[in-house]
Amino acid sequence: MQKIDGELISLIVIFFFFLILVFFIVITLAVRYRKRKKENEEMRTRFSEQLLASKVEIQEQTLKNVSHELHDNLGQIASLIKINLSTIQFKNPEAAEAKLANTKELAKQLVMDIKLLSVSLNTDKINKIGLLRALKVEEEKLLKTGLFEVTLELPDSLPVIDSEKEIIIYRMIQEILNNTIKHSQAKHIRISGKIQQNAFILTIADDGVGFDTIQKLADAGDMGNGLTNLQSRAKVINAVYTIQSVPGKGTESNITIPI
């Protein structure tokens, strides 16, 4: 009888131990679930905030580009057309014909520049024309400055990326190029992309003066904050932003996007 009672007590202890174990497992899983749910909600919030910030910054950058184009390019071409038309001497047919031909070329250039500007004015252009065409527009804008040689090396078709993520990626590229223009003193800029395993890697490299990346990341200045901002933006789209630079040897930025 005592043996049976002892076995019963053992079974009861084991049963209660099992219940306690199950209870702790359930509690642990519930805590992990709530923590993961909270992290996912925070990630979605950060993504939405970064998406909105990127859209606003693209609009601001677009307005700056439009202002620059109107002042330094379209306005100049329009003035030349006006001068040509007002100074045509019809008494000299050969000179008049040459000036008219030059005016026609200027008018063609003006139309082309207006078309390019109209593409830039469309702040939803990433969704409409895609990242590939948008990068080609950036190449054209860099070339028009006359300050850089630009190499664009991209596959004929890019991997499928969520359109909202493309907006953030495009803004990151704009920010990297702006940093290059402001700080690098480069002569050549290379924009390239490649598919490697399960990732699409976008690279922006230059042959400029370079800098100490560790020091810049530690600095609280605009460029240091800019690099930290790029890393934060990459994180919200599950991408990775890395930068390699050596003083005197240029800079290379990479955005690695899982596909």
Low-confidence ranges of the chain (pLDDT < 70): 1-11, 13, 15, 18, 37-44, 56, 58-74, 76, 115-127, 216-224
Q: E strands, the chain, where?
A: 149-153, 188-196, 199-206, 240-245, 251-258
Q: What is the pLDDT of residue 181?
A: 86
State the CATH number of the domain containing residue 217.
3.30.565.10
- Specify if 86 maps to a domain: no
pLDDT computed for residue 150 by the predictor: 93
DSSP code, position 148: -
- The answer to whether residue 166 sits within a structural domain is yes
Q: Is residue 172 part of a domain?
A: yes
Domain span holding position 155:
147-259
Q: What is the pLDDT of residue 133?
A: 84
pLDDT, position 96: 78
Q: Is residue 185 part of a domain?
A: yes
228: in domain = yes
Calpha distance 138→192 (Å, rounded): 13
Could you give the number of structural domains in the chain? Answer: 1
Would you call 47 helix, strand, or coil by DSSP? helix
For residue 246, give the 3-state DSSP assignment.
coil
168 in a structural domain: yes
Residue 135 token pair: 């990068």
* Contact call for residues 188 and 242 (beta carbons, < 8 A): no
Return the number of other C-beta atoms located less than 10 Å from residue 214's C-beta.
9
Please answer whether residues 184 and 208 qualify as being in contact, where contact means their C-beta atoms are separated by less than 8 angstroms: yes
Reading the block at residue 228, the tokens are 């930290």
Angle between helices 163-179 and 125-145 (to 10 degrees): 20
Residues 126-134: contacts with CB under 8 Å, at least 24 apart = 126/163, 126/166, 126/167, 126/170, 127/163, 127/166, 127/167, 130/158, 130/166, 131/158, 131/161, 131/166, 131/169, 131/170, 132/157, 132/158, 134/170
Q: Is residue 114 part of a domain?
A: no
Question: For residue range 164-193, what is the model confidence (pLDDT) as tens digits?
Answer: 888 888 888 988 988 898 888 999 999 999
Q: Return all residues near 93 (Cβ < 8 A) that are at least 6 apart.
A: none
What letters, b where the CB count within 10 A reaches 16 and e where it falls short, cover 96-126? eeebeeebeebeeebeeeeebbeebeebebb
Can you tell me the distance from the alpha carbon of 34 to that of 163, in angstroms, rounded to the nearest whole number?
A: 29
- Which amino acid, 38? K
Q: Is residue 17 part of a domain?
A: no
